[in-house]
Amino acid sequence: MFVHCSLFCYHNISNMISENADTQITPISLNKTTMPSELDLKYFPGYAKFLLKNKLKEFVEAHLRLSREMELPLLKFLGKFPESKLLFIGIKNSRELLSHCAANKADEYINLSIEKWLNNQSSLLSKNQVVAEDITLLGFMRRKLFRQFISAYTSDTQLMLDILNEADLFTMQMESKVFKAYIQTQQQLFIQAQSLARIGNWEWDLKTRKLSWSDEVYSIYELKTQSQINSNKIRTYNHPDDMDMVDKHMQWSLDTLKPHDFFYRIILKDGRQKILHAKGEVKLDKKGMPVEMFGTLQDVTEQKEKEKRLEDSRKFAEKLTNVSPCIITV
């Protein structure tokens, strides 16, 4: 059912959409340092040409059946489409893939597909709907399908081996680049989530005393990303009235090896104050000795200000309630 990637190009989800686009695709300029041309295939192009001319529909149908049998996670997003629609899309995309492979341009196809996916050029699926299991299952299915039709192309054992070895090389290249792209998108989502929640993470190596922050923690302190930081320097940002409290919480975690969870204030360089929510834990080595502290830091200034305004309103309403009987009596 899931022909989104021309049967193999899992992340070429974007290719599923353009039913009225031409079969030939226009190459997009890529950064050759990050996506080099590495596939120069000798035997596989002839097999791809054979599949394109003689087995295209069977190939797509086999992929649809296999996708259902293996319960491909992405199927749940495509269940609304009828079989005829999926078959049409699968044939179109498979023709595009096999045409590239027949012309010995498999790596070009990989790069274009991934770039389209990263740019989210799909009206059917979002790139964020792809999970790691989709990548591994589609890689397995791709290998299986190439083997399924090889006997219809040749009976020469050595040629079969040569073709399938190159097919595996293509698959390995595809999976490697797709996983890199997938990790990249997950990192971007993580950073976006931290930014929206105004929460960042930190690590403190207790042996080297090295402190590491995520970008969002730098943003909270309004410091340049990756600028030099250390525990002593950061301590100077703490509000004077909260400084001892922060030290006690951190030391308590180190002494008891228990997590800490507290609120404190910092003063920025321009004098503005922020209220932060700190959570952290202690990491132990195999001997049970503390080697690292790690945790999260969240800017809750706005939240706390709203809570204070609500509390002030509640107290004011309470005073009015208490005073009202006296006014009525007078």
Q: How far apart are CA 125 and CA 113, in angstroms?
A: 14
**What does the pLDDT read at residue 124?**
62
Torsion angle, alpha carbons of 283, 286, 290, 292, to 10: -40
Give 193-218 pLDDT, tens digit per residue.
666 667 888 999 999 989 999 888 99
**What does the pLDDT read at residue 302?**
85
Nearest to 168 by CA among 201, 145, 135, 188: 145
**What does the pLDDT read at residue 6?**
37
Mean pLDDT of the chain: 80
Over 60: is that where the pLDDT of 294 sits? yes
Give 16-53 pLDDT, tens digit per residue.
333 333 333 333 333 443 444 468 899 999 999 999 99
* Global pTM value: 0.56
Instruction: Average the pLDDT over 100-111 and give the result.
Output: 91
SS3 assignment, position 207:
coil
Element (H, E) at 262: strand 260-267
Nearest to 124 by CA among 12, 24, 25: 12
Over 70: is that where the pLDDT of 1 sits? no
**What does the pLDDT read at residue 56?**
94
Q: Where are the alpha helices (DSSP H) in the chain?
A: 44-54, 56-69, 75-78, 83-102, 106-118, 132-153, 157-197, 215-221, 231-235, 243-256, 301-329
Query: What tokens appear for 195 in the block?
Result: 């930014």
Q: How far apart are CA 282 and CA 280, in angstroms?
A: 7
Give 160-196 pLDDT, tens digit per residue.
999 999 999 998 888 888 888 888 777 776 677 666 6
| Least confident residue range of 131-145, 250-264, 309-323 | 309-323
